[in-house]
Structure 1
Amino acid sequence: MPTSNTRTGHSTLAEELCFVPEQHLTEVVQTIVSHEVCPELVMATGTLLQLATTVSWARRPDNLLGLDIAQDHDLVAHFHYPDLFHTALHHAGDLRDVDHIADLVGAVLAGKTHLHH
């Protein structure tokens, strides 16, 4: 992937979205473009989802107690990231909604709900 443009000091889109799992980058970019989201909201949404995943891990049910925090984040990143990002985007990256998004992450990981946008 290209690196920062040293002449202009601007970073590439891939650098800006380094928190997005590579296998989901195209789908997340499509979501960002279709919703005409500004970079600040993209970052806030990524932060909300990251924090919500951590909160969800802390509240995980007994059958998921064997997962360490990295494994939990990996599961979200590998299987559910685009849908959860889309949902967090609709919450405008508002950290006051971290509990709601954490509950949703937990439900998705437990197989109790499926996300669709």
Structure 2
Amino acid sequence: MHIYSSCGLWNSSVRKGWSFLADKAKGGRLLNLDGSSTIEKLKLMVSDDFGIDLTLVNLELSYLPSELINTLESPPVIISNDRQVKNFLTYVRTKPSTRLCVNSGETNFDEQDIERD
């Protein structure tokens, strides 16, 4: 299964709810995941594709299942274990436009590098 991913930061607004601010400089990546994917495999794949050193940063993977959320205050879902990876893959099968959001804590934003989701 192909998953679109991008690096950036989550932002919350009272009027618009949660949005992901993508780092244009890092761009996006297309990942190929299967049912046997684990959190460790996923983190290694993301770190390799984006050139992120896992010994220097804590990688956070997340997504926003907007069809399941009924309030603007509901935060994104953090993928923190193998069960959450499987939940993400199950969700993406029915909602292929879902993006995997990557936050490495090392993203440096410039006004021109921000793209609102």
Q: TM-score range by the shorter chain?
A: under 0.3
Q: Which one has more relative contact order, counting CA pairs under 8 Å at least 6 apart?
A: 2
With the length of structure 1 as denominator, give the TM-score of the two structures. Answer: 0.27
More strand by percentage:
2
Normalising by structure 2, report the TM-score.
0.27
